[in-house]
Amino acid sequence: MKSTALVRVAVIIFSILGLSLEAPTAKLQTEHTLAGEWLVTSSPINGQTASPKGVSLGFPDRDMVFEQQGDIRIGVVLREDVGHDVRPLGVWRVNGDQFSTTFQLWCPNEDGPCGSIVMRGRFVREDRISGTMTAFFDVFDDSTPTGYDSWTFSFVGNRTAAAASGGSN
């Protein structure tokens, strides 16, 4: 009778220890980060070649670098196809396997419309992402809920380099 009780207590203790030891591992496996370098390819949804108000974007491939320093998460698009100094800036966050990042468009021509990009996606794998992105242009469009001209894309991305040392925490 006593030995049965001891076995039960031992099983309970090992179960608790097992859970507490496994929990951090499980948490580590589900913690994703965008920190690092990604090659992201986008294509307009429904084959639209311009926004409803006729605004267009450039080359579909984007070399994107994401960094994290404490609570600050910054992203940069390396537009070396346009110029070495052309580096649109963005911000990002991750929630489980979902992520969101928002960039400002690079608009050297003050006469033309500018805008911002919101990307929403998920980690297919730790080194692969997919999702949709929406460009919100500074052009009024009363047919959209926001009142701004918008244009949607789908995208896939592959990690080409891990985060620099200390870049992610």
Smallest gap, in angstroms, from Cβ of residue 168 to other proteins?
A: 14
Burial class (CB in 10 A: 0-12, 13-18, 19+), 91: middle
Smallest gap, in angstroms, from Cβ of residue 55 to other proteins?
A: 14
Smallest gap, in angstroms, from Cβ of residue 107 to other proteins?
A: 7
Q: Dig out the tokens for 66 from the structure.
A: 């994401």
Q: In 9-60, at which residue ranges do the beta strands (DSSP E only) sit? A: 36-44
Written in H, E and C, the secondary structure of 57-92 is: CCCCEEEEEEEEECCEEEEEEECCCCCCCCCCEEEE
Output 93 or 125, the one with its CB closest to other proteins: 93
Output 152 or 158, the one with its CB closest to other proteins: 152
- Torsion angle of C-alpha atoms 41, 49, 100, 159, degrees rounded to 10: 0
Output 25 or 47, the one with its CB closest to other proteins: 47
Output 110 or 165, the one with its CB closest to other proteins: 110
Smallest gap, in angstroms, from Cβ of residue 102 to other proteins?
A: 5
Going from the C-alpha of 124 to that of each of 34, 96, 109, the distances in angstroms are 12, 12, 37
Nearest-angstrom CA–CA distance, 132 and 120: 6
Output 146 or 160, the one with its CB closest to other proteins: 146
- Which stretches of the chain bind other proteins, using CB under 8 A? 70-74, 85, 87-93, 95, 98, 100-108, 110, 114, 116, 118, 120, 132, 134, 136, 138, 144-148, 150, 152
Smallest gap, in angstroms, from Cβ of residue 156 to other proteins?
A: 16
Strands 61-69 and 148-162: unpaired
